[in-house]
A and B are shown apart, each in its own frame.
Chain A
Amino acid sequence: MELLTGIFVTPFVQMVTLPDFFLQVLWEGFVGGVLYALIALGFVLIFKASGVFNFAQGIMVVFAGLTLVGLHENGVPAYLALILTIGVMGLLAILVERFVMRPLVNQADIILLMATIGLTIFLIGLGEFIFGGEPKQMITEELGLPTGSTAIEIGSDGLLILQHIDIAAAVIAITMVAILGVFFNKTRIGRALRAVADDHQAALSVGISLNQIWAIVWFAAGIVALATGIMWGARSDVSFALEIIALKALPVLILGGFTSIPGAIVGGLIIGIGEKIGEIYWGPLMGGGIESWLAYMIALIFLLFRPQGLFGEKIIERV
């Protein structure tokens, strides 16, 4: 009986009796979801263009963040460091296209996946070699990002605390999604990119440069990785532990679909808010710490009804 009350009654009573806290949970879930969505975006971009699940997206987040902070630590002004980091991610995109992707054109997807796993291991080693293994503090203030918090009183003694950096994260994420949406749907390169995703050989036959498209898309994923690195880094610090968090994008992708930008956003928000509510209101019943698997449970439940994900393309293969 106590268990049933804990599942079906207590959480809802808490939501009603502590509305400020419920709002705080929703806000934290929203911010977490936005950040998951940013990571998932990087995966989606590359998957759309090449059908490759880019296992290296997580380490790209760390690599971009470390490059930015590392340059600044060596005396480069923050904004110049930001521009140089964008340049480094561009260079990385060109190198990946030239030495990883190009030799593997028309190979099976699993080969490309393995190549990105190899790239992950290489970037971990390179990152540790250049920057060392120590975590670094994100240069939040130097980049002009807001710090501090605003507390909004709710009711007589309720409080909703909004971190300024979280608000900035949400605004940046939404802006990036809008830009990417326009880029994919309204530009010539965007359409070419979608053609490449459908069929490499067909795209080549109509004169689309596969090499160019792949370099562009890896560069775009690098920019997304940099934005993610800055935001996650500001919340904790920039360390190799961030690479593990990138795996949180997996349930987001399962839910939203591997090829959909809106899917990454909606999926990110569902997972972010869902896991927070689950952990806060039902987690204590199971000893807490359920967040890490709850995201997968939510994604799997959605999959029962929509195997291709919320916004994924339905694959129909005729035999």
Chain B
Amino acid sequence: MRNLLIGGLALAAMTAAPLPAQAEDSVYIQLATYRTGPFAGSGIHIANGMADYLNMLNERDGGINGVKIVVEECETGYNTQKGVECYEQAKAKNTLVFNPYSTGITLQVIPKAAVDKIPILSMAYGLSAAADGNTFPWIFNPPMTYWDGATGVLSHIANELGGLDQLKGKKIGYIFLDAGYGREPIPLLEKMAEEYGFEIVQYPVPVKEMQNQSAQWLNVRRDKPDFMVIWGWGAMNPTAVKEAIKIRYPMDRFIGVWWSGGEDDARAGGQDAKGYKTLNFHAVGADFPAIQDVKRLLVDTGKSQTEADRLGENLYNRGLMNSVLMAEAIRTAQEITGKKVITSEDMRVGLENLNITEARLKEIGLEGFMAPIRTSCEQHSGHHSMYVQQWDGEKWVKLTDWFPPMTDKVKPLLAQAAQDYKTSNAPWPDRAEPCVN
């Protein structure tokens, strides 16, 4: 009886944990992050960037239009089950938006979002078809989808070769994390291979084998692909870079998606990694007024978890950009609804009406940090521009100008994929949300 009583009291104490204190003029945002586990090497920097920008707005401006942002992290460990638990916690605390930071978690929460009326922001990851706002009114994946990224890689390769027609007869190796994330661009790549007459050779890397890729790279050595494309994450990236060096693969023919471009990923290969390329859709570096504000108000005062020398690194800036999108969506929603303290339904409207112009970027201290972004009711991704960066042995250097994805190829495929998703998840509800433009 005594044990039962103690157990009961402990349970009561745990379940009675208070919700985060929210003043009247505040909104709550949960950040699903992973500072632990096999993917922490990538997750920590993104988490720092996300938290720092929102906290900087609180410190510098008192929030957004006087509304404080209550920021709370939920550790997922990049584990889908834990991620869904974080989503449920976020829902209970009335989060404005949910950032899964994992394609696996995104796929799980997509059907829940419309029911719970919580917008999902999967910035340049997740389900590519979710760009179709009419089918997925609650899901947003700006500035572009994985399929846009895949065409970006092919565009760059074609440029190197002298034109898209030169892809014919070429062999392109695709090494990827054998999970929802890595498998996402395969339909697009296969379709493009069929159209342009190149061969795509797949090298899946199981999560358990992320740091044990010698077999995959031996296959690469045997198959001799003309170019290698990587869709890796966490410990998979630095291992792949080292293995590519080991088999003496020409690094300037090895190109990754934007998630394979952490400084630590390339740094693992040292000077031998020189030439390795990845896509990107924002600047690298801390030389922006907004990031300097983060440094002054948070990093220098010990209010941030970011180490000063890692401020402005690629994945840090990725997380920061994620929060820029959220902050701008809040501001937009406030303008449209006339409310200061918005709800998650208002936030959806804000995300659907994002219009971050060059002038606006300058205003928020991020001039030239990223390409302008615009979303609409129909278009939740925007298919915005990207560029290729190259590792010079010590840092990332911008290699190309901004260039757009092949939207003429991607859009019809996305529309078809959205339709297929709707059919296979029938009865998928028709969009009932009004378009507020």
- A-side interface residues toward B, CB under 8 Å? 14, 18, 21, 24-25, 28, 31-32, 124, 128, 132-135, 137, 149, 161, 163, 232, 235-237, 239-245, 247-248, 275-276, 279-280, 283-284, 287-289, 291-292
A264 shortest CB reach to chain B, Å: 18
Asked whether B239 lies within 8 Å of A291 as measured between CB atoms, the reply is no
Tell me the bound Cα distance from A287 to B174 in angstroms.
12
Q: Which residues of the other chain, A, contact B210 by a CB distance below 8 angstroms?
A: 241, 244
Residues of B within 8 A of A288 (CB): 202-204, 216, 219
Closest to A24 in B: B218
Asked if B50 CB lies within 8 Å of chain A CBs, one says no
Interface pair B268/A137, CB less than 8 Å apart: yes
Q: Is B197 an interface residue (CB 8 A)?
A: no
Contact A134 B41 (CB under 8 A): yes
- For residue A239, which residues in chain B have a CB less than 8 angstroms away from its CB? 38, 40-41, 211, 234-235
Is the beta-carbon distance between B38 and A244 smaller than 8 angstroms? yes
Partner of B222, one of A18, A31, A243: A18
Task: Given A235-B242, A245-B212, check contact A133 B36 (CB 8 Å).
Answer: yes
A236 touches B211 (CB 8 A): yes
A180 to chain B, nearest CB (A): 24
Q: Give bound CA distance, A31 to B215, whole Å.
A: 12
For B34, B208, B248, the residue with the greatest tally of chain A CB atoms inside 10 Å of its CB is B208
Residues of A within 8 A of B268 (CB): 137, 236-237
The secondary-structure label for the interface of chain A is helix
Please tell me if B35 contacts chain A, counting CB pairs below 8 Å.
yes
Q: Looking at B37, B38, B215, B248, which has the most chain A CB atoms within 10 Å of its CB?
A: B215
CA A241 to CA B234, docked complex, whole Å: 9
Closest 9 A/B residue pairs (Cβ): A133-B40, A241-B38, A289-B204, A241-B235, A279-B215, A236-B239, A236-B211, A135-B41, A292-B206
Q: Which B residue sits closest to A289, measured CB to CB? A: B204
Write the nearest CB–CB distance from A22 to chain B, whole angstroms. Answer: 10
Task: Give how many B residues have a beta carbon under 8 Å from the other chain's beta carbons.
Answer: 40
Additional 8 contacts, C-beta under 8 A, given A21-B218, A132-B40: A28-B218, A32-B212, A133-B40, A244-B38, A279-B215, A280-B215, A289-B178, A292-B209
Residues of B within 8 A of A24 (CB): 218, 221
Contacts of B34 in A (CB 8 A): 133
Question: Could you tell me the distance between the alpha carbons of A249 and B282 in the complex, rounded to whole angstroms?
Answer: 42
Residues of A within 8 A of B247 (CB): 161
CB of B361 within 8 A of chain A? no
Q: Say yes or no: B219 contacts A284, CB within 8 Å.
A: yes
Bound form: Cα–Cα A291–B267 in Å: 27
In the bound complex, CA of A245 to CA of B206 (Å):
11
Residue of B with least CB distance to A31: B214
State in angstroms the CA–CA spacing of A63 and B77 once bound together: 18
Chain B residues with CB under 8 Å of A245's CB are 208-209, 211-212
* Alpha-carbon distance A222/B264, docked complex (angstroms): 28
CA distance A41 to B242 in the complex (A): 27
Contacts of A241 in B (CB 8 A): 37-39, 210-211, 234-235
Residue B303 lies at the interface, judged by CB distance under 8 Å to chain A: no
Q: Give the docked Cα–Cα distance between A232 and B212 (Å).
A: 9
Closest CB in chain A relative to B82 CB, distance in Å: 14
User: How long is the Cα–Cα vector from A242 to B38 in the complex, in angstroms?
Assistant: 8
